Amino acid sequence: MPKEPFPMTITITPNAGATTIRLEGELNAVTSPSVKATLNELAGQGTSRIVVDLQGVPFIDSSGLGALVSGLKAAKLAGGSLALAGLQDQARAIFEITMAYRLFDVYATAAEACASAPEA
Amino acid sequence: MPAVRTTTIAARLTEVSRLRDAVGALAAPDAGLPVRPSPQAIAAWSLAIYEAATNVVRHGHAGGADSPIALEIETAADEVIMRLRDQGEHNPAWAAPQAPATEQLQAALDDLAEGGYGLPIIRQVAHAVRYERTPAGENLLELRFRY
């Protein structure tokens, strides 16, 4: 029973003060290159605050973590910030094992992350 | 006789998630484990196996091939032993001496590395990692996890 070959839906919603990028699907070896490219593009466009909504992401592997770190670096380099929201239990494992929590601002929901955005 | 379950996939990145399902099945009440593993343990073991198999596909099979990767899961009294067997290229990285996983992870995080977390994650989660190129020319990677 072959599974679907990992669809990843990326939805970008610009809001006042923060741009939300909602991911739906596994953030894994197959899908992380496109997420990494999208995050870098957003940061390069001068988006001051990026909120990555992970509520629809059931799994994150090391390449997914690498993509988020890449986005974080690009955002900081451009003078902005990147926050994570809605981490699911399975996806949480990699942050706990690597202690990558301390790199990111992590919020329960995307709305919370956006509300806490620093004034532009 | 210890119980051994085997799951076989093709050496492709799109297939590797099926191995996580096999690990996830250990959480079932009738999985026959002496201790019911916590959801956190299952998530960590699944991640370690995913990382290991992804590494095998990338480095042993040039990113993807039709040859099989087999995952054997053996449940013992105080640990779960998982073995990945494949016929890809010899991967000496597994046998190379490694700094403690926490040090590697810490260094990678401090450097904000965009990759290279896979092997340290495996070594952080598994209490023992053994790699062998068998006389038959097969790669055998054994990961042991405590309950």
Instruction: Search chain B and give the residue with CA nearest A91.
Output: B43
**Structural Rg of chain A based on CA atoms:** 13
pLDDT of the residue at B96: 78
The answer on pLDDT for A2 being more than 70 is no
- Number of neighbours of residue B32 by Cβ within 10 angstroms: 10
A39 CB contacts (<8 Å, ≥6 apart)? Answer: A21, A50, A52, A67, A68, A70, A71, A74, A75, A82
Q: What whole-number percentage of chain A has pLDDT above 90?
A: 75
Q: Which residue has the tokens 């010899």?
A: B90
Cβ distance B43 to A6 less than 8 Å, yes or no, reads no
Which tens digits make up the pLDDT trace of A83-119?
Answer: 999 999 888 899 999 989 889 999 999 999 998 866 5
pLDDT of the residue at B38: 93
Question: What is the average per-residue pLDDT within B95-116?
Answer: 83
Question: What is the average per-residue pLDDT within A15-41?
Answer: 94
Which tens digits make up the pLDDT trace of B32-53?
Answer: 888 899 999 999 999 999 999 9
Which tens digits make up the pLDDT trace of A33-91?
Answer: 999 999 999 999 988 899 999 999 999 999 999 999 999 999 999 999 999 999 998 88
User: What is the rounded CA–CA span in Å between residue A94 and residue B137?
Assistant: 33
B112 φ, ψ to 5°?
50, 50
Nearest-CA distance A57 → chain B (Å): 14
Q: Report which of A111, A14, A62, A70 is spatially closest to residue B50, judged by C-alpha positions.
A: A62
pTM exceeding 0.80: yes
Choose among A6, A30, A98: nearest Cβ to B117.
A98
Nearest-CA distance B81 → chain A (Å): 20
A1 vs A64, which has greater pLDDT? Answer: A64
Instruction: Search chain A and give the residue with CA nearest B117.
Output: A62
* B 38-77 residues with CB < 8 A to A: 39-40, 43-44, 46-47, 50-51, 54, 57-58
B105 touches chain A (CB under 8 A): yes
Burial class (CB in 10 A: 0-12, 13-18, 19+), B137: exposed
Q: Are A68 and A84 in contact (CB under 8 A)?
A: yes
B3 vs A34, which has greater pLDDT? Answer: A34
User: What is the rounded CA–CA span in Å between residue A27 and residue A62?
Assistant: 9
Stretch among B61-75, B86-100, B119-133 having the lowest mean pLDDT:
B86-100
pLDDT of the residue at A49: 94
Query: CATH assignment of B3-146?
Result: 3.30.565.10
Q: Are B56 and B86 in contact (CB under 8 A)?
A: yes
Choose among A29, A66, A94: nearest Cβ to B114.
A66
Where in chain B are the domains? Answer: 3-146
ipTM of the complex, rounded to two decimals: 0.90
- Residues from chain B that touch A26, judged by Cβ atoms under 8 A, are 17
Nearest-CA distance B51 → chain A (Å): 7
- Residues from chain B that touch A97, judged by Cβ atoms under 8 A, are 44, 47, 105, 121, 124-125
Burial class (CB in 10 A: 0-12, 13-18, 19+), A55: middle
Choose among A6, A69, A92: nearest Cβ to B112.
A69
pLDDT of the residue at B109: 82
